[in-house]
């Protein structure tokens, strides 16, 4: 799969047959994940399940990102060094999100108690 274009012996001026099965496979995976997200958004509405629901959404989003970046943007088939060059800086964002979301909850808590004591 390193090169999606078939390298068959062609006559000059002849155009190779399209090789699109992998594209439509990725498309259906994306559609099914998106449909599942909607199904969960409308069935898991209980406030007690909020954390679980949001965790499922985040896992599904990362899964979709994997297929878009890996297949459509072809990163899965690039050199290993390029893959890591892209993924390692992006992974730092996870820390940023976790740190600032925690900080946000703390700021909210401090502000809500500021005028009550």
Partner 1 sequence: MAHSTTLQPNAAPASYVDAPRTGTWDGGNEPFKASYGKLMMWFFLLSDTFTFGAFLTAYGLIRHKHGVFAGQAKDFFFSTAHWPIPEKVFNSFPGLHGMDLPLAFVALMTMILIFSSVTMVLAVEAGHRMDKADVQKWLLWTILFGSMFLSSQAIEWTHFISGEGEGTLMADGTVMHGANLTMNQYGPPLFADLFFFITGFHGTHVLSGVCLLVWCFIATTNGTFEKRGHYEMIEKIGLYWHFVDLVWVFVFTFFYLV
**Cβ distance to partner 1 smaller for residue 8 or 117:** 8
Q: Find the shortest distance in angstroms from Cβ 117 to partner 1.
A: 18
Convert residues 28-57 into a mask of x (bound to partner 1 by CB under 8 A) and - (unbound): --xx--x--xx--xx--x-x------x--x
69 closest CA partner among 18, 26, 98, 35: 26
76 closest CA partner among 112, 33, 37, 22: 22
Q: What is the largest CA-CA distance in the chain?
A: 85
The single residue among 93, 113, 116, 117 that binds partner 1, judged by CB under 8 A, is 93
Phi-psi region of 13 (alpha: psi -120 to 50; beta: other; left: phi over 0): left
69 closest CA partner among 80, 58, 77: 77
Radius of gyration of the chain (CA): 22
**Cβ distance to partner 1 smaller for residue 7 or 117:** 7
Residues that bind partner 1 (CB under 8 A): 4-5, 15-16, 18-20, 23-24, 26-27, 30-31, 34, 37-38, 41-42, 45, 47, 54, 57-58, 60-61, 64-65, 68-69, 72-73, 78-79, 81-82, 85-86, 89-90, 93, 96-97, 100-105, 107-108, 111-112
């Amino acid at each position: 799969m390193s090169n999606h274009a078939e390298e068959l012996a062609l006559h000059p001026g002849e155009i190779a047959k399209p090789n699109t099965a992998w594209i439509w496979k990725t498309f259906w995976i994306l559609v099914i994940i998106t449909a599942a997200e909607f199904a969960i958004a409308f069935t898991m509405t209980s406030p007690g399940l909020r954390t679980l629901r949001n965790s499922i959404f985040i896992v599904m989003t990362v899964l979709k990102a994997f297929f878009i970046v890996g297949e459509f943007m072809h990163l899965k088939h690039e050199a290993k060094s390029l893959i890591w060059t892209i993924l390692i800086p992006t992974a730092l964002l996870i820390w940023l999100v976790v740190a600032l979301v925690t900080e946000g909850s703390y700021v909210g808590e401090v502000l809500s108690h500021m005028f009550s004591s």
